[in-house]
């Protein structure tokens, strides 16, 4: 019996439910660390699913783990066409938090929670994973090893939900970890698997610049924090242009400059907030060092006092090269894109039309924390709308092609069957 073919048939039978789940979640988004109703929805879904174990409020942060055990013991050795070991314990992760964004898509199922939107696709991540988990549980007697489904909260807001999940033991006994992110900037049907450093590390900062307020007509009697802050915003970019190797990806953004006041008043203080993205830890350390030097110089130059909060949050996401190679090969083989394909009956996932290595992504992702502990791969599934018009992640007009959820479920199903089939 072809276990993967049976699993894919089950997924196909549930396409409409997958879409319904995604649209329900899209209408009811919740922010990081506040996902009470979303967690309850996920928990309720599993009530009629024959998983072997369901853990709720995992890590004390509403995480949910559904464990599916194959009939054969985890770690048992099996041979395959390429001599890989079967019966692994693998963890599949999907996040479920939303963003503080006011939706402007005009969709019939737009967010009903003012100022909150699933503007990054986590609703779709959850929907495909629920259907995949249900389908896996229904055929668990044909599987070996153990599949651990992790529904993770709070990916969007540092320190992120992954840290609490790891501290609570989600990786105990796990051999490999896998995850998918849908991307609207990649054509639907395309999959990108990038080995090594794949997503940027993230640092965030907050400066309170304390000057001396006064009358706008007598600036010499004050120390203007707006002038100091403006100088800092400009000089900050010299770190990227003059301190970082031009071949290293680095982004420094001041996203908030709170200097609102009145036209004839010199403010007493201003607040600047922003973030830093780098593609390796050495550059991340260099940026912080140079950043703090600029802050010290600003205090002397403008005679102000600065309170600085600078934290390194998400590390660089590093895909295990061997796991990534295997994911790419599995997706190519099951979609018929492998050059050695000779039997049309072996084309099990025709929805995948291209598999490539692609380029790193400058966004940050707390899945990086799992990959610091275990080998695995975080890869991308194209979700560009059919008309080719797409909006960036975190945009109020962000949309996806819902066919990408089926591709996500099927590609992950193929990976599961490779290790636990």
- Residue 113: which CATH number? 3.40.630.10
- Of 284, 312, 340, the one marking the end of a domain is 312
pLDDT score, position 86: 56
- Of 312, 344, 370, the one marking the end of a domain is 312
pLDDT, mean of residues 15-33: 98
Q: Are residues 9 and 117 in the same domain?
A: yes
Instruction: Kindly list the distances between the CA atom of residue 201 and the CA atoms of 17, 250, 322, in Å, as whole numbers in the listed order.
Output: 36, 10, 22
Query: Does residue 346 surpass a pLDDT of 90?
Result: no
Q: Are residues 216 and 179 in the same domain?
A: no
Query: Does residue 76 surpass a pLDDT of 60?
Result: no
pLDDT score, position 72: 66
- Of 312, 342, 376, the one marking the end of a domain is 312
pLDDT, mean of residues 259-268: 95
Q: What is the pLDDT of residues 376-385, one digit of tens each?
A: 999 999 999 9
Q: Are residues 133 and 169 in the same domain?
A: yes
Query: Does residue 348 surpass a pLDDT of 90?
Result: yes
Q: Are residues 24 and 132 in the same domain?
A: yes
pLDDT, mean of residues 339-368: 88
Question: What is the rounded distance in angstroms from the CA atom of residue 98 to the CA atom of residue 117?
Answer: 6
Query: Does residue 85 surpass a pLDDT of 80?
Result: no
Number of domains, the chain? 2
Q: Are residues 184 and 213 in the same domain?
A: no
Q: Are residues 187 and 282 in the same domain?
A: no
Q: Are residues 193 and 321 in the same domain?
A: yes
Residue 71 binned pLDDT confidence (cut-offs 50, 70, 90)? confident
Specify whether 55 is catalytic.
Answer: no
- Residue 259: which CATH number? 3.30.70.360
Q: Are residues 241 and 187 in the same domain?
A: no
The residue with greater pLDDT, 343 or 421, is 421
Query: Does residue 77 surpass a pLDDT of 50?
Result: no
Q: Are residues 71 and 189 in the same domain?
A: yes
Q: Are residues 191 and 337 in the same domain?
A: yes
Q: Name beta bridge partners: 311.
A: 204
Give Cα 155 to chain centroid, integer Å. Answer: 6
> Among the options 97, 103, 366, 401, which is catalytic?
97
pLDDT, mean of residues 1-29: 96
Q: How much is the mean pLDDT over the chain?
A: 94
Q: What is the pLDDT of residues 132-153, one digit of tens each?
A: 999 999 999 999 999 999 999 9
Residue 75 binned pLDDT confidence (cut-offs 50, 70, 90)? very low
> Among the options 155, 156, 320, 402, which is catalytic?
155
Q: Are residues 178 and 211 in the same domain?
A: no
Q: Are residues 356 and 233 in the same domain?
A: no
pTM for the whole structure: 0.92
Residue 211 belongs to what domain range? 201-312
Specify whether 97 is catalytic.
Answer: yes
Q: What is the pLDDT of residues 269-307, one digit of tens each?
A: 999 999 999 999 999 999 999 999 999 999 999 999 999
């Amino acid at each position: 019996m072809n276990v993967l073919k049976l699993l894919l048939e089950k997924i196909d039978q549930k396409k409409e439910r997958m879409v319904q789940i995604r649209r329900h979640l899209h209408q009811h988004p919740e922010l990081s660390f506040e996902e009470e109703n979303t967690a309850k929805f996920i928990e309720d879904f599993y009530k009629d699913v024959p998983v072997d174990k369901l853990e709720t409020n995992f890590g004390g942060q509403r995480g949910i783990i559904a464990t599916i055990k194959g009939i054969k013991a985890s770690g048992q050795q099996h041979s395959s066409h390429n001599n890989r070991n079967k019966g692994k314990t693998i963890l599949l992760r999907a996040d479920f938090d939303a963003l503080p964004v006011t939706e402007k898509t005009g969709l019939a199922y737009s967010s009903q929670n003012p100022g909150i939107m699933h503007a990054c696709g986590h609703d779709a991540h959850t929907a495909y994973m629920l259907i995949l988990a249900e389908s896996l549980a229904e055929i668990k007697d044909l599987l070996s090893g153990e599949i651990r489904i992790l529904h993770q909260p709070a990916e969007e807001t540092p320190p992120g939900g992954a840290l609490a999940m790891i501290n609570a033991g989600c990786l105990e006994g796990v051999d490999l970890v896998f995850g998918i992110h849908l991307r609207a900037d990649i054509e639907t049907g395309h999959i990108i698997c990038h080995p090594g450093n794949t997503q940027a590390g993230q640092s965030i900062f907050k400066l309170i610049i304390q000057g001396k307020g006064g009358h706008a007509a007598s600036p010499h009697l004050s120390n203007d924090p707006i002038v100091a802050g403006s100088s800092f915003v400009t000089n900050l970019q010299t770190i990227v242009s003059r301190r970082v190797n031009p071949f290293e990806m680095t982004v420094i953004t001041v996203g908030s400059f709170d200097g609102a006041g009145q036209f004839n008043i010199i403010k007493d203080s201003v607040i600047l907030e922003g973030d830093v993205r780098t593609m390796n830890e050495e550059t991340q350390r260099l940026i912080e060092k140079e950043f703090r030097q600029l802050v010290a110089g600003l205090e002397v130059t403008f005679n102000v006092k600065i309170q600085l909060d600078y934290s390194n949050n998400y590390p660089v996401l590093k895909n295990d090269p061997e796991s990534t190679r295997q994911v790419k090969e599995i997706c190519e083989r099951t979609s018929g894109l492998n050059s050695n394909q000779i039997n049309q009956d072996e084309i099990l996932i025709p929805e995948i039309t291209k598999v490539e290595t692609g380029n790193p992504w400058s966004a940050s992702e707390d899945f990086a924390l799992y990959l610091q502990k275990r080998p695995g791969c975080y890869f991308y599934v194209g979700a560009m709308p059919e008309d080719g018009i797409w909006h960036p992640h975190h945009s109020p007009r962000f949309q996806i092609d819902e066919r990408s959820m089926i591709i996500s479920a099927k590609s992950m199903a193929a990976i599961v069957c490779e290790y636990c089939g």
